[in-house]
Chain A
Amino acid sequence: MQNLVTNAVQQASQNPPGSPIYANNVTVWNHMSDALHQSLYRVLTLLIAVLPGILAFFVALVIFAVAGVVISWILRHFLTWAKFDLRLARKSGTDWTPTTSPTEIVARVSFWACVLLGLIIGVSAFDTSYATGTALPITLLPYFTHAVGAALLLAAGILIARFLARSVLISAVNAQLQYARFLSLGVKWLVLVLTAAMVLDHLEVGGNIVELAFGILFGGIVLTLSLAVGLGSRELVSRSIESHVKLTGERTPIPEETSGTVRSIRHF
């Protein structure tokens, strides 16, 4: 490399200005061009290797989806003709009354089974073609699979957050806690923050910053909730202990809604 540079400098001093620079008949432009050609070749080779797989994936999915539509259509008409819903209702008594009719369920299941089969076959074809190109330096596809995993994590986290928030809200309202909504909101954000941290960690984004930020946020929310619940529910705890002491030893414990001269009510 040093010789190459020295020769180039010497030739530059000998040649008049404006003429091209040569080093052992190889120009910098040629090097760059070679590099670009090689890179393009590698990417094209990868695409040529992967493209049939992608095509196979979509073809399999479309073929099986169409097959699913046809099969579900045939099943729906056949089961309707055979009065499947009526026969099933007679056989199983009246215990099972789904919102959707059994015929519709069977038709839908058959359709989605076909779609799932197409998906599996397509992914299998894609996987085979991708395996031939794994020697090539590409990180997009693994990152894509991570992104799908992260999206699933996010969806699950949002669902769990909503479920827990509702559970806490209803329980807190029925326990007559004045800060029910605040508590519910706290639990919701606790789960959402946890989910966000997991998603970012899964995507390998942020590194230590995410862990640190998550720790601070999570700890902060927990501390806030602890203080709120601890300070706000003293009366509830004392009431609960009081009613427990009253109930102990009675032959048929009756739910005490009230105390003192106030008449108790019996729900059952």
Chain B
Amino acid sequence: MATANPIPDETAVAERATADLVVFVTAMPAEQFKGVLDNLEATFPANNVIVATRNELPADAPRNLRIDLMPPSNSFWMLQPADFTSAAQCGLEHEAKAILILGPGADSLSTPALRSLADAVLTAPIDLVVPHYSLAPHAGLINSAILYPLTRAVFASSARFPLPIDLGMTPRMAERLAATAQRISANNQGEAILWPVNEAIAAGFRMDEVDAGSRTVPQPSDAEINSVFALITGSLFADIEAKAALWQRPRRAALIRRTATEVALSDGTADVARMVAAFRLATANLQEIWPLVLPPNSLLMLKRCSVLEPAEFRLPDNLWARIVYDFLIAYRLRTINRGHLLGALIPLYLAWIASYINVVASGTPAERQIESVAAAFEADKPYLVARWRWPDRFNS
């Protein structure tokens, strides 16, 4: 591993240097990397932080930072398992007390956010710190609809963003994540996603969430919802299946601290009519697939929803929770091909978005609505556990 520094006499020191904090910056475009370095220089004292990265060092890089250059890799829109392995390796080499991983677009993270992430690990007995981003109500919708409520209900996790792009952790947490990442790589699951929050809960490590303010969330290069939705939701379902022995035990949800400010709605109205039309089309055409997954009660309620006008369209929270649970059960039982299953969930997800936008437009704060959805998931968890254990008790 080569270590480079704009200041030649400090480079040799950085080769085997130790630091309290190691910041691992994933591969990202050059201008973003430059912004990250500037922010890091402004946030942390130079003698106490080492930046490890897979990016090429820009010509005008900050002179005071010790930078550990690693073999370059391709930029991706989210953290990859290899990033966790590299971060753990760097932390071990430099005997760090805390490790920060900064994902693509981290130049938009404020310096207080960076400081909070590092301090939470350095000053408190916490193994994993995840940021709570302040996103617009119409952003991060897969997270709001499925990832957050499902993770909260199943794993009793309070993390608002269970699939973070930046995180802080202790070396033992990093080792745990690296071991999981290596297992994923060994199984040739190239596009697999690692869920740090779920891993921390499975290991019994302490976890916290800090307010990170607003951030530019990187978007997948493939703009099609079908592939992104199947990748993320399928990965979470698979992780839940793998940790079934853990989450079926009763757990108390951690205390939720919500300090993030809500971002105001921008002008214009989202195209609810089109999403409702997509849902209606699916209701008319997927009648041979949905009954394989959903019980008659849910199908009847969906039929009732499909006749509502777009402006009045609502998908009850408890129905949405039940739908996601039934799809999770079908995923586990392989009732139908998993690709087909996740594809059949997309129109229902669009229906949830339409309903959510209508609720938010009616004056309900977005965060309150998302918390209401999460509460519905928590309330219906006994149904999930019962059907997970006795899947044949169906069609009730």
Contact = CB atoms under 8 A, between A and B. Distances in A.
Are A and B co-members of a single complex? yes
Interface in B228-246: 228-229, 232, 241-246
Interface string A82-126: 000000010001111101000000000000000000000000000
Given A170-B289, A257-B271, A176 B278 contact: yes
Most buried by B among A97, A171, A243: A97
A48 B320 CA distance: 68
Interface in A221-268: 243, 247, 251-258, 261-268
B245 A94 contact: yes
Contact of B224 (A95, A255, A266): A255
A41 interface: no
Interface string A57-100: 00000000000000000000000000000000100011111010
Contacts of B353: 265
A176 B228 contact: no
A263 B138 CA distance: 9
Interface in A162-209: 163, 166-167, 169-174, 176, 178, 180-181
Contact of B281 (A180, A247, A253, A264): A180
B332 A170 contact: no
A263 B143 contact: no
Contacts of A178: 281
B343 interface: yes
Contact of A166 (B228, B244, B340): B340
B202 interface: yes
Nearest to A261: B268
A97 B244 CA distance: 8
Given A180-B285, A264-B138, A255 B277 contact: no
A217 B183 CA distance: 51
Given A262-B269, A263-B267, A268-B217, A95 B242 contact: yes
A94 B281 contact: no
B128 to A, nearest CB: 18
Given A263-B266, A263-B269, A268-B228, A255 B282 contact: no
Interface in B94-120: 105
B200 to A, nearest CB: 14
A99 B217 contact: no
Given A97-B242, A252-B218, A268 B285 contact: no
A170 B269 CA distance: 28
B219 A254 contact: yes
Range of interface residues on B (Cβ < 8 Å): 35 or more
Nearest to B347: A173
B291 interface: no
B223 A247 contact: yes
Interface string B266-295: 111111001101100110111011000000
Interface string B179-218: 0000100010000000000000010000000000000111
Interface string B136-178: 1011111100000000000000000000000000000000000
B142 A253 contact: no
Range of interface residues on A (Cβ < 8 Å): 35 or more
Contacts of A266: 136, 138-141, 217, 219
Contact of B286 (A99, A170, A267): A170
Nearest to A256: B223
Contacts of B220: 268
A176 B281 contact: yes
B217 A257 contact: no
A258 B272 CA distance: 10
A173 B332 CA distance: 24
Nearest to A176: B278
Contact of B219 (A99, A176, A253): A253
B193 to A, nearest CB: 12
A228 to B, nearest CB: 15
Contacts of A174: 225-226, 278, 343, 346-347
A121 B275 CA distance: 60
A118 to B, nearest CB: 30
Contacts of A173: 278, 281-282, 285-286, 347
A95 B242 CA distance: 5
A97 B271 CA distance: 41
Nearest to A251: B29
Most buried by B among A169, A258, A264, A268: A268
Contacts of A265: 138-139, 141, 270, 353, 357
A217 B150 CA distance: 49
22 contacts: A95-B187, A95-B242, A99-B334, A169-B289, A170-B289, A170-B343, A171-B343, A173-B286, A176-B277, A180-B281, A181-B285, A252-B216, A254-B223, A255-B224, A258-B270, A258-B271, A261-B268, A262-B268, A265-B139, A266-B138, A266-B141, A268-B220
Interface of A: 89, 93-97, 99, 163, 166-167, 169-174, 176, 178, 180-181, 243, 247, 251-258, 261-268
CB-based closest 4 A-B pairs: A170-B343, A263-B268, A258-B271, A266-B139
Given A173-B282, A255-B228, 18 more contacts: A94-B242, A163-B337, A166-B336, A166-B340, A169-B286, A173-B285, A173-B286, A178-B281, A243-B223, A252-B217, A257-B270, A257-B271, A258-B274, A262-B270, A263-B267, A263-B268, A263-B269, A267-B141
